[in-house]
Amino acid sequence: MRRVVVTGMGALTPIGNNLQDFWKNLVDGVSGAELITRFDPSRFKTRFACEIKEYDPSRYLDRKESRKMDRYTQYAHIAADEAVKDAALDPGAIDKDRCGIIWGSGIGGIETFLDEVKGFVTGDGTPRFSPFFIPRMISNIAAGMLSIKYGFRGPNFGTVSACSSSTNALIDAYYYIKLGKADLFIAGGSEASINPAGIGGFNAMQAMSTNNDEYATASRPFDVTRDGFVIGEGAGTLILEELGHARARGARIYAELAGSGLTADAYHITAPHPDGIGAVNVMKQAIDEAGLKPSDVDYINVHGTATPLGDIAEIKAINALFGEHAYKLNISATKSMTGHLLGAAGAVEAIATIMAIVHGIVPPTINFRNPDPAIDQNLNLTLNKAQRRTVNVALSNNFGFGGHNASILIRKFNE
């Protein structure tokens, strides 16, 4: 089976509008949570979120083209463009029939859907919908528009598995390359759900923090006072490439994607299995596929959403799978800084994991104050401050509503 390496990355996040700013703020433990500016949230239970800061699409995109895109597709184009440049990739110098796009989004163009339906309901009943309503809204359109932009004619589709969507995209791209179906992918995910429908919907589920008085520290994984996730937005892109293809064009290699896991909890539409059975199995699959042992893992970037049930289940899974080695791991939840980017979370957190390997620094879990007796406090949860450590092997976990579990194993590249 062919080897798959990462040769480029791009990030548009609530704590940095490019890869380097994102990484610096991760290491520094910066919170991306602020009061919502996108609309008036005063009547909502939650009035804060992790928005992209100082966002102006005209800085990145042609105005005429950007008007055809929902915000989530705009984010996809911006992060993909950075990754292509980071990889020193010349689309004109590669076989475009052997290159593809796989892009994840849990919700897609919800902002477009909300605006169009609101316009119809508040109008005179005459159906005046934009001809771009459907193309802006559908969850596969980011992948389609990226393939048009770069001319890639290989596999091209969107993945939808809630908060696991972009991890699924990376895993699918990884397998297409390993199986010889393609040589290179632009893969990742984007989400833009900070609007009345997104906030109201998650509030109705009681899934999201309502700690408006302490919004900057409301995303507090593992803390006994956690009361739900803080919604975020943005995009992450990875250039995944077959090793020989990367070598042939003299590409810089960040790391190797060496294992993957996909499982289902088969338990509940929103709650995780209380014993973390699906999480155990998905991490084990990724480790086994890489030909490694649990004791080879140095770091886990956990799903860590700061929900009361989710954090406990994931820690139980880590204890169950890793046994005594669990106490030698670094574990961190970078959602404490970025918020939960939903379908984009997996790609952004994969980038964080790769940067930890490259720089030998584990980003922290911030906002921790009060231990939860249900969570093993002897684990190294990388609390409040980054830690220097050699990271040779790492896992990145993401779990989604519907019981979707995805895990990727990334290791330091060795010839």
- Kindly list the catalytic residues: 163, 303, 340
SS3 (DSSP) at 189: strand
**Are 285 and 262 contacting, i.e. CB atoms less than 8 angstroms apart?**
yes
Tokens 């919604």 -> residue: 231
**Partners of 189 in beta bridges:** 104, 236
Phi and psi angles of residue 209, each rounded to the nearest 5 degrees, phi first: -60, 145
323: alpha, beta or left, given left = phi > 0 and alpha = psi -120 to 50? left
DSSP secondary structure letter of residue 227: -
What span, in angstroms and rounded, lies between the C-alpha atoms of 221 and 224? 9
Which of 296, 347, 27 is CA-nearest to residue 161? 347
Residue 340: strand pairing partners: 231
Burial 329-353 (b: 16+ CB within 10 A, else e): bbbbbbbbbbbbbbbbbbbbbbbbb
